[in-house]
Amino acid sequence: MAGLEPSNPVAIDTALQNYYKPADADRAGMSRRDYRDYIIGLYMRALDSKYEAFTDQLRAGGRGSGLGFDLLLLGLNGATALSGVSAARDLATVTAVTSGARSSIDKRLYFEQSLPAMIAAMDAERASIKSDIATKQAQPAERYRLSNAIDDLTRLKQAGQVDSAVSRMTKASEADRDAEQERLNAITQACADISIDAARLNFDFRELVYKDAAKRPDRLRAAAGALGMPLQPNQVPAWSEVAGKFDISLCDDDKKRQFIGNLTNTIQQNGI
């Protein structure tokens, strides 16, 4: 059937018309479910190809050539402005050009540093949507229609955009901020008076429990048990949970020292 080659995906309107026709012969002999999955595959490959080209361009744009072009434009503008002006105005223009160049560098460096995180965010969002589509494809055509699949493919297309990546990163940052704020509020409420030794004792606790990666799981479990944290069999608590419990439960420095000493003895006695 014309237009079904992978390099030339059939138009959405045409695909929908073919999908709802009663005879399989109108879909090159495919059932509605097979045709739905075929169209999904065509468009997913096309979207993957476009996304790969897009991210390649982003990575190429983040390299030094773009910075050289920015500086070239700034230099030409500066040379034009410098011709035929007084020494005082020369200095002002040079200052403006230098400031502009630094701004260009800052923006370029920010872009280079942010780019991997943005691409990772887009990759994660696209992987999540692809997984959702694959799960829905197990359903019959009556439950997961081609029109539903097109909506999901549209989401997949939108996930490969920088603004979507920034939105995902922002939401993740806000969630981290809220979690840390809740932890800080809990610590502040539980420990009204924080001494100058508290930070050092927290550091000592971290060094004891977290520093050795090979022994970390056993030491995290030992610390959590000593702090009275409920654990499932073979569960390894997160460091943030153990550290938060340590902060909240032991406001007094002497209690922290005693706890660290007792935990050290437990670790040595159990060889962990």
Q: pLDDT tens digit string along 198-239?
A: 778 888 999 999 888 899 999 999 999 999 999 888 899 998
Same domain, 95 and 35: yes
More confident residue, 195 or 243: 243
Terminal CA-CA length for the chain: 67
Residue that finishes a domain, picked among 125, 154, 169: 169
Same domain, 120 and 70: yes
- Give the pLDDT confidence score for residue 198 in this predicted structure: 78
Same domain, 160 and 92: yes
| Cα distance between residue 37 and residue 141, in whole Å | 9
**Tokens describing residue 247:** 């902060």
Average pLDDT over residues 78-101: 42
- Give the pLDDT confidence score for residue 30 in this predicted structure: 94
Same domain, 48 and 146: yes
Domain count, the chain: 2
Same domain, 147 and 95: yes
- Report yes or no on 142 lying in a domain: yes
| Cα distance between residue 31 and residue 24, in whole Å | 5
Average pLDDT over residues 22-32: 92
| Long-range pairs for 201-204: beta carbons < 8 A, 24 or more residues apart | 201/253, 201/256, 201/257, 201/260, 202/243, 202/246, 202/247, 202/256, 204/260
Give 83's pLDDT tier (boundaries 50, 70, 90). Answer: very low
Average pLDDT over residues 237-247: 86
**Tokens describing residue 24:** 């399989």
- The domain in which residue 121 lies consists of 12-169
- Report yes or no on 5 lying in a domain: no
- Report yes or no on 60 lying in a domain: yes
CB 69 within 8 A of CB 47: no
CB 93 within 8 A of CB 78: yes
Element (H, E) at 163: helix 162-190
Same domain, 161 and 227: no
Same domain, 153 and 212: no
| Cα distance between residue 101 and residue 63, in whole Å | 16
- Give the pLDDT confidence score for residue 77 in this predicted structure: 43
pLDDT tens across 38-49, in order?
Answer: 999 989 888 888
- Report yes or no on 181 lying in a domain: no
Range among 163-167, 188-192, 198-202 rated most confident: 198-202
Same domain, 53 and 105: yes
Name the E strands within 63-171: none
Same domain, 260 and 151: no
Same domain, 117 and 223: no
- Report yes or no on 4 lying in a domain: no
- Tell me: pLDDT of 50 over 50: yes
More confident residue, 218 or 82: 218
Same domain, 52 and 140: yes
CA within 13 Å, CB half, 51: 21
- Give the pLDDT confidence score for residue 262 in this predicted structure: 95
Residue that finishes a domain, picked among 169, 204, 226: 169
Same domain, 146 and 206: no
- Tell me: pLDDT of 134 over 90: yes
| Cα distance between residue 112 and residue 104, in whole Å | 12
